[in-house]
A and B are shown apart, each in its own frame.
Chain A
Amino acid sequence: MNKSSIPFGVWFLGLFLILLLVMVLNLSLGSVSIPFKITIQVLFGKEPETASWSYIILNYRLPKALTAIVVGGGLAVSGLLMQTLFRNPLAGPFVLGVSSGASLGAAFLLMGTSLFTGWTLFESINDISLAVAASLGSFTVLLVVVMVANRVRDTMTLLIIGLMFGSITAAVVSVLAYFSDAEQLQRFIFWSFGSVGGLSWSQLGILTLVVVFGLFFAIFSLKSLNAFLLGENYAKSLGIALRKSRFLIIAATGLIAGGITAFAGPIAFVGLAVPHLTRQFFNTMDHRILLPAVFVYGAILMLLCDTIAQLPTSAKVLPINAITSIIGAPVVIWLLLRKRKLFF
C-alpha cells in the first residue's frame, strides 16, 4: 500500500529495465525462435552462425519492436492527454474522431474506387498511399473538431461532438463497405486489425518524427495539463490561456494518434487502459511524472501484446487489435472492481 514511499526514480529505473527485457524477448521470439544470448549479440553487431537470424532481427524484428514502442507509448500518452482535457476517465485518443477519420481515409482509398467508378487516383495501393490517406482522413476530422473547439467553450460538448463525428464516419465507412467487393473489403478489414509489423526503416523514421513532434507539444502543455486537473475555470484563474492550451493538447493528440493510426491501423484500448494502469503504480496525478511513465508503460504493453500476437514458434500472426482488447478490457474491469470507481 505504501507505494508513495518508493521514489519515482526507482520506479523509472525498474520500468526501463523491464522495457529492455521485454524488447529482447520480443526480438528473440517469433515464427523462428532465436536464443536470447544470440539476439543480444546480434544487436551489438556480432554475426551469428545462422546468417538469416541476423537478417530477421535487424530488418524485420527490430523495426517492428521499435514501432511497437512508438505506437504503444504514443497511444498511451494521447490517452492521458484526452483523459485530462476532457476530465473523463473513459476518454481515449479516439474520442475526437481521430481514428474514425483515419478509417474513413483508408476506407475511401481501399473501397472507394467501386463507388466512384473511373476514380483511379490511387491506382497502385501500397502502404505509403494507405498511410497518406489515413493521415489525411484523421487530419480532416481533427481540423473540423479544432474549428468547433474554438467555438464551443464546454469540453463535454466537444467530447460529444467528437463522438458524433465518429458515428458519421463509421456510417460512411459501412456504406462504402456495402458497395465494395470482397477483395477490397478484406484489405480494409486487415488494415483495421492493426499491425506494428511491416514498416520499413524509413517509414518508421517518418512515424517517429511525427510522434516526437506530438510529444514535444505535450511536454509544452505539462503545466496547463496539471492546471486542468482542477477544472477549466480554476485553470483560467491560475493564468492558463484556455484556448491556446486546449489547441496545443488537441494538436498533440492529433499528431500522435493520427500518425500512429495511419501507419499501424486503429489500435484499441492502449490509450484508454494504460493511463489508468500507470496511476495505480505511480501514486500521483502530476503530469511531469505521469507523461514519461505512461509512455514507458504503453511501450511495454505493446511489446508484450505483439510478442503474444506473433504466436511464438508458429508462422501465424494474430491481429494485434484483438490482443490489446483481450488484455486491455480485463484490466479496466479489474480496476473498476477493485476501486469501484475510476478516480482520475
Chain B
Amino acid sequence: MEKQTAYLQVSALEVGYKTEGVVRNVDFTLNKGELCGIVGVNGIGKSTLLRTIGNLQPRLKGSIKIQNKDLQDFNAAELAKEISLVLTEPLASSNLTVKELIALGRQPYTNWMGNLTQQDESKIQNSIADLELGGLGNRKCHELSDGQLQRVLIARTMAQDTPLILLDEPTTHLDLYHKVQILKLLKGLVQEHQKAIVFTTHEIDLAIQLCDRILILDGKQNPIGTPSSLIEQGCFETLFPTDMVHFDSQSGSYRVNK
C-alpha cells in the first residue's frame, strides 16, 4: 500500500564508481512529511548513495523513482523542481551575500536572465524567516559561522521549493547545540511544509531522537525503519565493531566500553 503512494521509491539500488558497487541492496520508500537519516561507518557509501539519489552521479543498478517516475525520465529543469541539495563541498564563491545565495535557489523558476519576480522575492523572504536568518541578508557567506552557513544553505533549498531535500552531513563541524538546532529546524520543515528530507549523519544518538526513519548502511541488509523498531531489532548493536563501543538500547545511545 505504502509503496504505491510513497513520494520517493528506491529499489534494489546499487551505487558506486565505475563498475564496483560501494552500496548494494538499498530498498526504501519515503513520504512527504518524513525526516530520514542515513547512518553508517566511515566509507560505507552514505554520501555516494545521497549523491546518486540527487542525480549527481549515475547509479549502477536498480531504480530511483519520484512519484512513480524514474529519475532518468526527468529532464534537468524538471528535476530541479523536485530535488534540492546541500552538499559538503565548499561554495565556489564565498563572496556571495546570504540573500544572493538564497535567491539562486529560485533559478528553476526564473526566466533566461534569472530576473526575480514578486513571487520569487516573497519565497526568498519566507525562506529567510523559516531558517531564522533575519538580519543576515546582506552578510557575505565568508563572514558567517558554520552553523549560520548551514542554515543559509538550507534556506536556499527552501527557496528552490522542492518536495525532496537531500543533505550531506549537515551537522559536521558544528557543536552539539548547533547540531541539535539544525536537526530541529529540519524536523520543523518536515512537519510544517510537508517536505521529505534525507540527510547523512554520524550523530546516531540525535538521529534516533529526531528522525521519523533511519536507514542503516551496514553493507549487508541496509535496514530501514523507525528508530524504535530498529532498536528492537538490534540493528544498532552490529553497526560498529564491538571492541570499542556498545549500543545501550535503554538510552538509545552508544557507550564506550569500560
List the 7 shortest-distance A-B pairs measured between CB atoms, nearest first. A239-B80, A87-B92, A343-B95, A223-B114, A239-B77, A229-B93, A231-B92
Q: What is the CB-to-nearest-CB distance from B48 to chain A, in angstroms, rounded to a whole number?
A: 13
Query: In the complex the two chains form, what is the Cα distance from A240 to B83 in whole Å?
Result: 14
Per-residue 0/1 for B114-149: is the Cβ within 8 Å of any A Cβ (1 yes, 0 no)?
Answer: 110000000000000000000000101010000000
Q: What is the CB-to-nearest-CB distance from B89 to chain A, in angstroms, rounded to a whole number?
A: 6
Q: List 23 A-B contacts (CB under 8 A).
A: A84-B92, A87-B93, A222-B114, A226-B104, A227-B104, A227-B107, A229-B104, A231-B89, A233-B56, A234-B91, A234-B104, A236-B76, A237-B54, A237-B84, A238-B104, A239-B77, A239-B79, A240-B107, A285-B93, A285-B96, A285-B100, A286-B100, A343-B95
**Which A residues lie within 8 Å of B105 (CB)?**
238
Query: In the complex the two chains form, what is the Cα distance from A152 to B113 in whole Å?
Result: 28
Cβ-defined contact, B113 with A223, below 8 A = yes
Per-residue 0/1 for A285-299: is the Cβ within 8 Å of any B Cβ (1 yes, 0 no)?
Answer: 110100000000000
Query: In the complex the two chains form, what is the Cα distance from A229 to B96 in whole Å?
Result: 8
Q: Quick check: is A157 within 8 A (CB to CB) of the other chain? A: no
Cβ-defined contact, B95 with A230, below 8 A = no
Quick one: which of B96-114 are within 8 Å of A by CB? 96-97, 100-101, 104-105, 107-108, 110, 112-114
Query: In the complex the two chains form, what is the Cα distance from A231 to B85 in whole Å?
Result: 12
Listed in ascending order, the chain A residues whose CB lies under 8 Å from chain B are 4, 84, 87, 220, 222-223, 226-234, 236-241, 279, 284-286, 288, 343-344
Contacting residue for B91 out of A84, A231, A241, CB 8 A: A231
Q: Quick check: is B210 within 8 A (CB to CB) of the other chain? A: no
**Which A residues lie within 8 Å of B101 (CB)?**
230
Look across to chain B and name the residue whose beta carbon is closest to the beta carbon of A86. B92
Query: In the complex the two chains form, what is the Cα distance from A233 to B50 in whole Å?
Result: 13
Interface centre among B100, B107, B112, B113 (most CB of A within 10 A): B107
Look across to chain B and name the residue whose beta carbon is closest to the beta carbon of A88. B92
**Which B residues lie within 8 Å of A343 (CB)?**
93-95, 140, 142
Look across to chain A and name the residue whose beta carbon is closest to the beta carbon of B76. A239
**Which B residues lie within 8 Å of A344 (CB)?**
93, 95
Q: What is the CB-to-nearest-CB distance from A163 to chain B, in angstroms, rounded to a whole number?
A: 19
**Which A residues lie within 8 Å of B85 (CB)?**
233-234, 237
Cβ-defined contact, A239 with B108, below 8 A = yes
Per-residue 0/1 for B147-172: is the Cβ within 8 Å of any A Cβ (1 yes, 0 no)?
Answer: 00000000000001000000000000
Q: What is the CB-to-nearest-CB distance from B53 to chain A, in angstroms, rounded to a whole number?
A: 11
**Which B residues lie within 8 Å of A220 (CB)?**
112
**Which A residues lie within 8 Å of B76 (CB)?**
236, 239-241
Q: What is the CB-to-nearest-CB distance from B103 to chain A, in angstroms, rounded to a whole number?
A: 9
Cβ-defined contact, A222 with B83, below 8 A = no
Query: In the complex the two chains form, what is the Cα distance from A65 to B188 in whole Å?
Result: 60
Quick one: which of B70-88 are within 8 Å of A by CB? 76-81, 83-85, 87
20 additional A-B residue pairs with CB within 8 Å, beyond A223-B112, A231-B90: A84-B92, A84-B93, A229-B96, A230-B101, A231-B92, A233-B56, A234-B91, A236-B55, A236-B76, A237-B55, A237-B80, A238-B108, A239-B78, A239-B81, A239-B107, A239-B108, A240-B76, A285-B100, A288-B114, A288-B115
Query: In the complex the two chains form, what is the Cα distance from A234 to B78 in whole Å?
Result: 15
Query: In the complex the two chains form, what is the Cα distance from A84 to B113 in whole Å?
Result: 17
Look across to chain A and name the residue whose beta carbon is closest to the beta carbon of B84. A237
Query: In the complex the two chains form, what is the Cα distance from A231 to B91 in whole Å?
Result: 6
Per-residue 0/1 for B195-215: is the Cβ within 8 Å of any A Cβ (1 yes, 0 no)?
Answer: 000000000000000000000
Look across to chain B and name the residue whose beta carbon is closest to the beta carbon of A241. B76
Q: What is the CB-to-nearest-CB distance from A293 to chain B, in angstroms, rounded to a whole number?
A: 15
Look across to chain A and name the residue whose beta carbon is closest to the beta carbon of B81. A239
Query: In the complex the two chains form, what is the Cα distance from A106 to B97 in whole Å?
Result: 44
Interface centre among A84, A237, A238, A343 (most CB of B within 10 A): A237
Cβ-defined contact, A233 with B89, below 8 A = yes
Q: What is the CB-to-nearest-CB distance from A339 to chain B, in angstroms, rounded to a whole number?
A: 10
**Which A residues lie within 8 Å of B96 (CB)?**
229-230, 285
**Which B residues lie within 8 Å of A230 (CB)?**
91-93, 96, 101, 104
Query: In the complex the two chains form, what is the Cα distance from A344 to B104 in whole Å?
Result: 16
Query: In the complex the two chains form, what is the Cα distance from A288 to B112 in whole Å?
Result: 11
**Which A residues lie within 8 Å of B77 (CB)?**
239
**Which B residues lie within 8 Å of A279 (CB)?**
95
Quick one: which of B22-81 are within 8 Å of A by CB? 54-56, 76-81
Look across to chain B and name the residue whose beta carbon is closest to the beta carbon of A220. B112
Query: In the complex the two chains form, what is the Cα distance from A336 to B120 in whole Å?
Result: 36
**Which B residues lie within 8 Å of A229 (CB)?**
91-93, 96, 104
Query: In the complex the two chains form, what is the Cα distance from A229 to B103 in whole Å?
Result: 12
**Which A residues lie within 8 Å of B83 (CB)?**
237
